[in-house]
Amino acid sequence: MALSLAITAGGIILLYLLWDARAVPGETLNASTFKAIIASMGFGSPVLDQALLVVVLAFEAGLLFVAANTGFLGGPAVLANMAGDSWMPHQFRYLSSRLVTQNGIVVMGIAALAILFWTRGSVTLLVVLYSVSVFLTFAISLFGLCLYWWRHRQELDHWVRRFLLSLIGFIICAGILAVLLVEKFTEGGWGAVLIIAAMFAVCVYIRNHYRDTKAAIQAVDEVFANQPFGTHQDAVYPDPDAQTAVFIVGSSRGGGLHALLWVQRMFPGHFKNFIFVNARTVDTHAYGGEGAVEQMRAEANATLKFFVDFCHSHGMASAAYLGFGTDVVDEVTKLCEDIAKEYPSSIFFTSKLIFEQDNWFTRLLHNQAALAIQRRLHFESLQMVILPMKV
């Protein structure tokens, strides 16, 4: 990519030099250059020259249009990665959901239109906004690479060369960014700083909210940690023809026990089988270190075994299902469909978080996975109940 960009940029500059491109009011340098190139071909017809220029500029506009759309194509994936790290609402992780991809594109489209109307289409201002954003992204990415190579210097060979390459790139990008901010601050640089700072503040708020929620869920786990096991020793296997309660659980043991006890309290003696389902996401985070996938599998199996052992200790038939995939919603839906075929009399249960201080933004950040799974199961004529869990 670097080589292709260098050849393209070098070719454009060469054309500027060969045809002595100069700024013309109302025209870009490309338009002025290609007008001179077409005129030098000697077609002898001003109409034909103008038509050829229009065709060339149309191809140029089409290329820019395709390049601009790559941001909309890759945007949902970027949002998914940020959501995986809790910088964005978790619902953006579930790319299999049509609404997630659609909403991601809509968010970026609205933001682009807002900036376009705010700048009133000023190319000068838009170029400054674009340049500041691009070099800020490059600088942060290269700084992250510097940290990575430095932290893993004891584990990797030839880390010095890679570290120095990343460091040089970071210094260059940071220098260009500093020059842009100083020289173009009054010409639109302040707008870029304001927009990026606002987005950063929103992301930090979202991350802090998820961190507080995680602490609250851990407190719930501690409450249910002392839930006593029964005295029954032997395993009890489910009967496919019996009434079955299927619990979609995560890593929180408290949440799973809360749902199990709620169902037993509301439907005493109705369900004979208790099935627990869990799905884990296999993405770049799962391959982040040696044995990461195996560790994730062991943790998931340990959580499911806890639920199954708890049911067996009270003489209740129980089993567990575990799945792995790139999308939790998609994987859970497939597991539930398979369970429904094996246990026809199944009703599915999961929990959703209820906050004491609830608002539209809180609802946006939580419970989207449960709603997406419920929507899919209902479409397949399967019954699913979402239980409230106060945190």
Looking at residues 165-171, what average pLDDT do you find?
91
Of 291 and 92, more confident: 92
pLDDT on residue 95: 57
Band (98; pLDDT cuts 50, 70, 90): low
For the stretch 100-145, pLDDT in tens is 566 777 777 888 888 888 888 777 788 888 888 888 988 999 999 9
Q: What are phi and psi of 19, to 5 degrees?
A: -105, 15
Please provide the DSSP assignment of 65-91 as one string: HHHHHHHHHHHHHHHHHHHHTTSS-GG
C-alpha distances in Å from residue 37, one per residue of 27, 40, 42, 50: 15, 5, 9, 12
What is the SS3 assignment for 303-346? HHHHHHHHHHHCCCEEEEEEEEECCHHHHHHHHHHHHHHHCCCE
At residue 16, does pLDDT exceed 60? yes
pLDDT on residue 287: 47
Tell me which of 59-73, 141-155, 182-196, 279-293 is least confident: 279-293
Of 72 and 140, more confident: 140
Q: Closest by alpha carbon to 336, among 369, 385, 382, 282?
A: 382
Cβ atoms of 187 and 124 closer than 8 Å: yes
Q: Domain 227-390 is in which class?
A: alpha beta
Of 338 and 234, more confident: 338
For CA atoms 11, 17, 23, 24, the dihedral sign is negative
Q: Kindly tell me the burial class for residue 322, based on how many C-beta atoms sit within 10 Å of its own C-beta (0-12, 13-18, 19 or more).
A: middle
Beta strands in the chain (DSSP E): 244-248, 273-281, 317-325, 346-354, 384-390
C-alpha distances in Å from residue 95, one per residue of 51, 100, 208, 251: 44, 6, 24, 21
Instruction: Retrieve residue 294's tokens.
Output: 């195996």
For the stretch 220-233, pLDDT in tens is 777 777 778 888 87
* Helix pair 123-151, 159-183: axis angle to 10 deg: 150
Given strand 346-354, what is the order of strands in its sheet? 317-325, 273-281, 244-248, 346-354, 384-390
Chain CA centroid to CA 216, Å: 24
Cβ atoms of 178 and 114 closer than 8 Å: no
Cβ atoms of 363 and 354 closer than 8 Å: no
The C-alpha atoms of residue 200 and residue 57 are separated, in whole angstroms, by 37
Q: Which residues of 46-73 are buried (b: 16+ CB within 10 A; e: fewer)?
A: eeebeebbeebbeeeeeeeeeeeeeeee
The C-alpha atoms of residue 383 and residue 341 are separated, in whole angstroms, by 13
Helix, strand or coil, per DSSP, at residue 236: coil
Instruction: Retrieve residue 12's tokens.
Output: 């454009």
Helix, strand or coil, per DSSP, at residue 389: strand
Q: Closest by alpha carbon to 119, among 209, 189, 46?
A: 189
For the stretch 319-361, pLDDT in tens is 999 988 777 888 889 999 999 999 999 999 988 888 877 777 7
pLDDT on residue 292: 66
pTM: 0.71
The C-alpha atoms of residue 372 and residue 152 are separated, in whole angstroms, by 39
Chain CA centroid to CA 297, Å: 22
